[in-house]
Each structure stands twice: as structure tokens, then as C-alpha cells.
A = this chain, B = another copy of it.
Amino acid sequence: MRLRHALLVLLAERPHTGYELTRRMRETVSLFWSAQHSQIYPELAAMAADGLVGFEASSGPGPRQKKTYAITDAGRDELRDWLGSAYVRKPPRDELLLRAFGSASADPHDLAAVYLTEADRLASVLEEYAGIRAELEVMPEADDPTRPEFGWMLALLHGIATATARHDWCVDAARRLNAGS
């Protein structure tokens, strides 16, 4: 039930409609989480049934009512408990590494090209991160653990560190593959 906690994190900041949550997942949190609206709407209904969120309905565009969800005290408790609970790592599934492991069965140049393409993508992602970092670094809120900007900063630093490591690995993997022949 991790989607539940992702939604609680966003709702702890301020109330949202399901549509807004879908957009924020895509635009803001997509660095480390994502979900489709088809998953979010039923989950919000279940969370309301469990008392973690409440909603106010108002007339919206289209045939149905628009529902604005807000976190409840029970929701805040659940979120705080989960944030402090033990982290259990999920088995990773990394397709890029699986390919590396199987390189003996590949055309080395084709596989090297795959890694170089990914390295390029990561390089442009890193440029984007550098811009966001410059914006965040001048904000004093980023040093205050009670502010949302603190979490943004942590997530960004993680993104920069891992994307850099992966970028360099991709370049090295391509070099090793091409050096072999």
C-alpha cells in the first residue's frame, strides 16, 4: 500500500482533487514516484472509507461532481507512523543491468549504443537538475525539516548523485564494450 502514502504526502501539504494529484505525480514527484488517474481515483475512495482523508464535493465540469480531498488527523497519524517505520528494500528490477549481465549474447556495438543513448538522456536530466538546485539553494526553507522544500532538496540531491553515478557507468560500459573488439 505505498501509493496510499504517496498520496498522503501530497495531501499533507494542501488539499487536492484526484486530477491535481495525477498532475503533481507526473510533474513534481515523477523523479521517484508515479501513478495513473485510474489508480488514484479508486485509492482516494478507499482512503476516504478508511477515514484517512475527507472530501468536499462541488459541481465540476463534465457529468460528475468534483471532489476536493483533504487529509484528516487519522491520515496525519498514519503518515507520521509510516515515515518513522522500518524501511524494507524491495527487490530491484533494473533492465539496463540485466542487459549488461547478458552482454556475452549481444552485438557489442549495438549494446554500447544503448548505453550511450542512456548516458545522453542522463546528461540532459542532470542539466535540468542543476537549474532546479540553483533555485532551491537560495531558499532558506530548504534547510528547515518542517518545510516541504526540505524534502524537495533531499530528493533532488539524491537524483543528482544517482544520475551522475549511472551516467558515468553507462559511459564506462560503452567504452569497455567497444574496447573488446
Contacts and interface: CB of A to CB of B under 8 A. Distances in A.
This chain: copies in complex: 2
A180 B83 contact: no
A51 interface: no
A30 to B, nearest CB: 7
A15 interface: no
Given A95-B90, A157-B172, A164-B165, A101 B180 contact: no
B101 A151 contact: yes
A29 B63 CA distance: 51
Interface in A120-169: 121, 143-148, 150-152, 154-155, 157-158, 161-162, 164-166, 168-169
A64 interface: no
A30 B91 contact: yes
Contact of A83 (B2, B111, B158, B162): B111
A96 interface: yes
A46 B180 CA distance: 35
Given A98-B32, A176-B143, A104 B162 contact: no
12 contacts: A31-B97, A33-B91, A33-B98, A80-B105, A84-B114, A86-B117, A87-B99, A90-B95, A100-B155, A104-B150, A145-B181, A162-B169
The 7 closest A-B pairs by CB, nearest first: A84-B110, A145-B180, A9-B102, A83-B106, A32-B97, A100-B154, A34-B91
Interface of A: 2, 5-6, 8-9, 12-13, 29-34, 76, 79-80, 83-87, 89-108, 110-111, 113-114, 117-118, 121, 143-148, 150-152, 154-155, 157-158, 161-162, 164-166, 168-169, 172-173, 176-177, 179-181
